[in-house]
Structure 1
Amino acid sequence: MTAAFPAPAWLVGCGNMAGAMVDGWRRAGVDLSGVTVIRPSGTPVEGVRTVTTYPDEVPHFVMLGFKPQKLAEIAPPLSEHVGPATTLVSMLAGVTIEDLRHRFPDAAAIAKIMPNLPVAVGEGVVPILADGETGGVEALMAALGTVVPCQSEQDVAAIGALASAGSAYFARFAEAMGKGGAGQGLDPETAQRLAVQAMLGTAAYARDRKISMAELARRVASPKGTTERGLAMLDAPDGLQALVDRTLEAAVRRGRELAEEVRRG
């Protein structure tokens, strides 16, 4: 299915993530002429009409891209424009489809997504949970990378922690590797650049060769060699896996807290 916006299309809020999606759609050649960004600041979005108030039209597509804590403020006036012709798409962390259906009862269909920043370069991951027929939405998200259909809110939360928030975690690990290289005497800027390139190259190798990360590590680590000695530190009972498990659980737990805050609001 060719990606196309069901115009008129509104992007309500356009922060870092929504802006990355716009960049990705533009890169993929998606027609943005029927899209309007609505943001109180009026700060223009390159190549997209930007306004400060809701246009006098019936939107067929509305994407929510603001902070979830602002939903209680934004939903009442916006709901007057969301009707049986509108597909609503939300990337609000912690806000469930049930919450959205309560606030936008007339929407024809609702989709919850949790994209990650690499959507800007067509390498994103976009989990999607749908309530109603949202096939056009899946095609739009596929233009940004890999779409993962979900069966539950828990699926979205888990993928959000792994891939969406995970972009920040991978970045932090690469940063730590760069600092570690600098600690071994390398120029800090060079060490950081090499850490990023090692991450890119490793991911590309695993994807192109269709091998698991465990197999890739095995191929690199010679018995009793330097890589194996370093892996022993990461593989210790209190090593990398334990840290990652705690990290993902913290992200998922915060999602539950946000959901409760939204319900109370």
Structure 2
Amino acid sequence: MLPPTSWFVGCGNMGGAMVAGWRKAGIDLSGMTAVSPSGREIEGVSVATAIPDGQPDWCFIGFKPQMLADIAPGLASHVGPGTVLLSILAGAEAQSLRSAFPDAKAIVRLMPNLPVSEGEGVTAIYSDDADETLRAQVDEVIGALGLAAWCPDESAFDVIGAIAGSGPAYLARFVDALSSAAQDEGLSAELADAIALQVAGGSALMARATGETMPALAKRVASPGGTTEAGLKVLDAEDGMEPLMRRVVKAWRKRSEEMAAAARD
């Protein structure tokens, strides 16, 4: 599983979610140190307020991407030929990371989403220099958090980041909108929230258990000429759900490209 020594430099919300997922999966975290200037407690791992001495086997980095230029010079000497660098920095491409950490044994990009905390996440993975042994190790560790999706290139990595990494936020907006619509029709906020969340979670669990596609599920729910079909016609309109999501993903990609450009400078 995790190697004997590993660091998590910048273990914020996403890093904390990964740690929580590993803890629930029974992963041995005794060799992990989270580096957090605030010194806030992170259950399951030891915490240091500054970069420790030595060179870890694996070094995860999870600080804000715009901080790469400031943090990398002080961290690079600890990322030597025996250290694998695993980055969850959005927009920081492998080439930029290699420039910042030239001596790293390998560079592995990760893009997890928050449900990793429950072992139900999706993590995009990309590396152009990880050997088969390392790939198997990463598969085991990241697979404990949910679906581990290796990408053939960074373009595919970005797409998964847009859909999986940001997807929980988009789904949260949809569930909240469904609840708001129910409240407009007279339901209490508490009941509407509970129903909208149960509908989203239950539908996803059912589809995963049965293997049913989303179009097939929608068709099964909607009787011809019925109330569901009337609502679907709104979502399926030319300015409905699909065009909206395409605009959302394009906005994500534009911002990702801007962040990647900033990381190269």
Please state how far the C-alpha of 1:41 moved relative to its aligned partner: 1.1
Which one-letter code corresponds to 1:198 in the other structure?
Answer: V
Equivalent residue, structure 1, for 2:228: 227
Amino acid at match of 1:9: S
Partners of 1:23 and 1:98 in 2: CA distance: 30
Aligned-residue sequence identity (percent) comes to: 48
What is the TM-score normalised by the length of structure 1? 0.97
Partner residue of 2:194? 193
Q: Measure, in 2, the Cα distance between the counterparts of 1:263 and 1:58.
A: 25
Q: Deviation digits for residues 95-152 of structure 1, max 9, x if unmatched?
A: 0001111111111111101100000000000010012223212211000000111011
Partner secondary structure for residue 114 of structure 1: strand
1: CA distance, partners of 2:33 / 2:145: 19
User: Which amino acid counterpart does residue 197 of structure 2 have in structure 1?
Assistant: V
Whether 1:41 aligns to 2:42 is no
State the secondary structure of the residue aligned to 2:107: strand
Structure 1 stretches (4+) deviating beyond 3 angstroms?
none
Q: Deviations over 1:28-83 (max 9, x none)?
A: 00000000001111112112110111222220000011100000000011000101
Structure 2 partner of 1:129: 126
- Residue type of the alignment partner of 1:43: R
Counterpart residue identity of residue 189, structure 1: E
Tell me the SS of whatever aligns to 2:126.
Answer: strand
5+ residue gaps, structure 2: none
CA distance in 2, matches of 1:15, 1:228: 43
Corresponding residue for residue 60 of structure 2: 63
CA distance in 1, matches of 2:4, 2:95: 25
2:257 corresponds to which residue? 256
Could you tell me how far apart the structure 2 residues matched to 1:122 and 1:141 are?
Answer: 10
Residue equivalent to 1:85: 82
Instruction: State the match for 1:101 in structure 2.
Output: 98
Q: Distance in 2 between matches of 1:197 and 1:87?
A: 41
Q: Which amino acid aligns with 1:197?
A: Q
> What residue ranges of structure 1 are gaps of 5+ in the alignment?
none
Q: How does 1:159-198 map to 2 (within 5 A)?
A: 159-198=160-199
Q: Under a length normalisation based on structure 2, what TM-score does the superposition of the two structures give?
A: 0.97
Asked whether the equivalents of residues 19 and 44 of structure 2 are also in contact (C-alpha less than 8 Å), the reply is no
RMSD: 0.8
* Structure 2 residue matching 1:148: 3-state secondary structure: strand
Structure 2 residue matching 1:72: 3-state secondary structure: helix
Q: Matches of 2:3 and 2:56 in 1, distance apart? A: 8
Count, aligned residues? 261
The letter of the residue matching 1:126 is: T
Question: Which residue in the other structure is 2:24 paired with?
Answer: 27
1:212-253 C-alpha deviation (Å, 9 max, x unpaired): 000000000000000000000000011110000000110111
SS where residue 85 of structure 2 aligns?
Answer: strand
